[in-house]
Structure 1
Amino acid sequence: MRGNFVALQPLEDEDYKLFSQWVCPSKVSALARGAQDFVTEEEIRKDIVQGNTRYATVVTHEGKKIGFVSWQPLKYEGSYMLGGVIGDPNLWDMGYGAEASLLLMDYLFHSKNAHKIQFINGLYNLRSVRFLLKNKVTIEGILRDYIFLDGEYHDAVISSILRHEYYEYSEPGDMIPKSEKQQIREELYAYLQEHWKDECFPNLLRQGEKIGR
């Protein structure tokens, strides 16, 4: 999937090492995971391979890998938890993370028939909370003392957006252009109109007679 600034692509072997660097104790991991843990490349690989969370790498149009987005199926069919981070703080506030999240939301709603996308963000995460507010999500509640960071507990906000709400505010990009879909429908209907009575229908009858014998 490709946007104006970044694209999403499947994980490659080298990405596990990048992930372990991005989520080591730092401001990046505090914002991405609400945690400060040392994790190895193998631990990251095992967690991703054996877990039910899916990941995609965020790549600039110049081919630089700068972060990841994730989606985790929740209890009910069509419900997902969305997450992600841009690994280099120097690239924050440039629109990369926001576009990557919107690309993933577009994928889940438009290609996976998602019904609900949910977010949990620490109330210290300025950029993520602003992104949620800007994109018309519904605040469902506050999770008290949900994350322990910098020697103290922090609340988190839980929010979501439903399928019909998403389509009210955005126009997802189609994999196949609408004009192309319409064109082939018109060509098919024109063909059937011309050939159905004398060719298509008699052929179907003959096939039915062969099967019945």
Structure 2
Amino acid sequence: MNIKGKKVTLRALEREDMEELRNFYNDPEIANLLGGWTLPISSEQQNRWFDRIEYDDRNLRLAIETEEDGFIGVSNILNIDYKNRSAHHGILIGKKNMRGHGYGRDTVMATMKYAFEELQLNRLEGDILEHNIPSYNLFIQKCGWVEEGRKRDYAFRSNRYYDQIIVSILKKEYEKLCLELGYWKSEV
């Protein structure tokens, strides 16, 4: 089952996506903004990672696709806790020319819709490095997330430390946001 947004489709990652995904993560500009990966990844490492995730039902890694440009990034729902109905969410728009056109917002909205309405989760959380202003603005200003706190000097990038900002949204906050924005209103 694919997850449809207004501008993007979220679908299962395919082996054919691995080379482009590896290129995204090996790009120093992208790696500088991420809280995790900061080491170069080989094709073999990328393929072994893909083989390991195939049967992982607690971590969903979805390809972000547009009709015009195909695979542009990934959206994750990780560490799904079905008992407490919570998970971690993050996205990466790897094709730089696709940023600033609403694909990130539509990806987060479609991921939240799936997490809250299909998986019946109550809470999504995420983290953003403090110098990643576009991601902060996306989650906080455009998608209704709330800053919960910071992990001080969490990540070392470009010869200095940056805080990790912890953000979250609850199902009721997502529902209120959808009503206020009329985001899914055109659906039947």
TM-score interval w.r.t. the shorter chain? 0.7 to 0.9
Higher relative contact order, chain-length normalized (CA < 8 Å, sep 6+): 2
Distance 1:73 1:167, change over 3 A: same
Decide whether the 8 Å contact of 1:140 with 1:160 is kept in 2: yes
Decide whether the 8 Å contact of 1:22 with 1:28 is kept in 2: yes
Determine if the alignment matches structure 1 residue 87 to structure 2 residue 113: no
Which residues in structure 2 correspond to 1:22-61 (within 5 Å)?
22-50=24-52, 52-61=58-67
Please tell me the residue identity of whatever aligns with 1:71: I
Could you give the per-residue CA deviations for residues 134-168 of structure 1, whole angstroms, max 9, x where no partner exists?
12222110110111111111001101111111111
Determine if the alignment matches structure 1 residue 149 to structure 2 residue 157: yes
Alpha-carbon distance in 2 for matches of 1:44, 1:33: 18
- Which structure has the highest helix share of the two? 1
Determine if the alignment matches structure 1 residue 62 to structure 2 residue 68: yes
Alpha-carbon distance in 1 for matches of 2:71, 2:96: 13
Q: Could you state the TM-score of these two structures normalised by the residue count of structure 2? A: 0.84
Displacement after TM superposition at 1:48 (Å): 4.3
List runs of 5+ in structure 1 lacking aligned partners.
178-213
Decide whether the 8 Å contact of 1:9 with 1:59 is kept in 2: yes
Alpha-carbon distance in 2 for matches of 1:77, 1:15: 32
Count the aligned residue pairs: 176
Alpha-carbon distance in 1 for matches of 2:76, 2:43: 17
Could you give the per-residue CA deviations for residues 93-133 of structure 1, whole angstroms, max 9, x where no partner exists?
11112211211111100100011000100001111101122
List runs of 5+ in structure 2 lacking aligned partners.
none
Please tell me the residue identity of whatever aligns with 1:105: M
- Which structure has the highest strand share of the two? 2
RMSD: 2.2
Structure 2 match to 1:163: 171
